[in-house]
Structure 1
Amino acid sequence: MIGRLPLDEQLVALKSALSRNEVLLEVLDRTASLALPGWYMTAGCLFQTVWNVVTGRQPTRGIKDYDVFYFDNGDLSWEAEDAVIRAGKEAFAGLPAEVEIRNEARVHLWYEQKFGVPCAPHPSTEAAIDCFAATTCCLGVRLEPGGRWRVYAPHGLSDVFNLVVRPNPVLAPKEVYEKKAARWRQQWPELTVLDWPTASHGRGASQREAPLCGCGGGGI
């Protein structure tokens, strides 16, 4: 099983799986051309591509959109973020997929209104990725000069390849995790969805309290 391989071999397997999704590769390439600060493609489009490949499905099946995070705390206005979003719409024109670009430096300005819990300002894109409702979601990939892939995976890749959805009680509330997990299970019934812990660290707990593995910031 790929999830039991050493991390360097899992990184190679990740690139191989993601490369099966031609839309994903095109989004990576076009995002790189935008030169956004601290950007990553992240979340569902990555782990769901892997799930599709592992289960023998078409690589793009069930993927709603392609999320791109970047970090610019020099201008927290909506107008500045909207300008990037509009530039992205031009860059991604013609792709058979929706690409959603968000400045993670601004998340604290709208998170509580949307999800009902406060969010402290993120210090980086990586910190924002750390706060997804499931550790399985905590994954980011970007292209660096020379075509090198930079991979951020603070919880490793074993759960992604083993089709395990594990809660991450750092910020997002329990209901967000359960709603997402239920939706994913409808698309990928092979998933093992772990229960939200009865006694969690609580919202806003330090990410350092969550189990980490040495896969953050790898390159392939």
Structure 2
Amino acid sequence: MVLSRLPVDEQLVALRDILSHNSVLTDVLAKAAELRLPDWYLTAGCVFQTVWNVVTGRPAADGILDYDLFYFDANDLSWEAEDAVIQAGYTAFADIPATVEIRNEARVHLWYEQKFAVPCPPYDSTEAAIDSFAATTCCVGVRVERDGRWRIYAPHGLADVFNLLVRPNPVQAPRHVYETKTTRWRQQWPTLTVLPWPTLPEKLG
């Protein structure tokens, strides 16, 4: 069965089934829901790399460095407020055998330029932050609502994730971030197809 050819509603079911193979991820989802953070998602590598592992027959959690938990709270942009959430996370995830990285996406513009040497306009939601990942393939977020329903955000769809195709997303992250990440990913998942970063056409004299 080619997962990328399933109807969209069935792709969502397939994604949830695949992610359920990663018990670390499902435990993080359950405990994150208890924190009741505003506009939160578990996102980035722990999501799409779980898919890559399962569809290539690897252990579901293999090679996943950390679990990124994003939330959005513009009411208090202080480091102290974000750190309080991070400390609460240390307690909540103390028995999880993985690193859970918690970040308030409302604060990203305050430190992004210093880290990546390019400015970052303020985000207005966690979804906007996910939209800016270096590869469109990475733009997937999941969470479990308080009633147990899964919420999945995937602005570029799921076909590339299922097909192990990495496509650049040159809207915010610089080229070197994309190339550094994809070089590491290829070492772990050698069957990936990585599309090159787009180049600007030369100006005519």
TM-score range normalised by the length of the shorter chain: over 0.9
Structure 1 CA distance for aligned equivalents of residues 94 and 173 of structure 2: 32
Residue of structure 1 in register with 2:175 after alignment: 174
Residue of structure 2 in register with 1:190 after alignment: 191
1:121-176 per-residue CA deviation (whole Å, 9 max, x = no partner) reads: 00000000000000011000001122100000000000000000000000000010
Residue of structure 2 in register with 1:82 after alignment: 83
How many equivalent residue pairs?
A: 200
Moved over 2 A (4+): none
Residue identity (%): 73
Residue of structure 2 in register with 1:125 after alignment: 126
Does residue 98 of structure 1 match 2:106?
no
Residue of structure 2 in register with 1:56 after alignment: 57
Q: Which amino acid aligns with 1:42?
A: T
Q: TM-score, with normalisation over the residues of structure 1?
A: 0.90
Shift of 1:4: 1.5
Residue of structure 2 in register with 1:72 after alignment: 73
Shift of 1:80: 0.2
Structure 2 unaligned regions, length at least 5: none
Counterpart secondary structure, 2:134: coil
RMSD (Å), alpha carbons: 0.8
Structure 1 unaligned regions, length at least 5: 201-220
Counterpart secondary structure, 1:113: helix
Structure 2 CA distance for aligned equivalents of residues 107 and 50 of structure 1: 27
Structure 2 CA distance for aligned equivalents of residues 24 and 118 of structure 1: 32
Structure 2 CA distance for aligned equivalents of residues 173 and 78 of structure 1: 25
Q: Which amino acid aligns with 1:21?
A: N
Shift of 1:199: 2.6
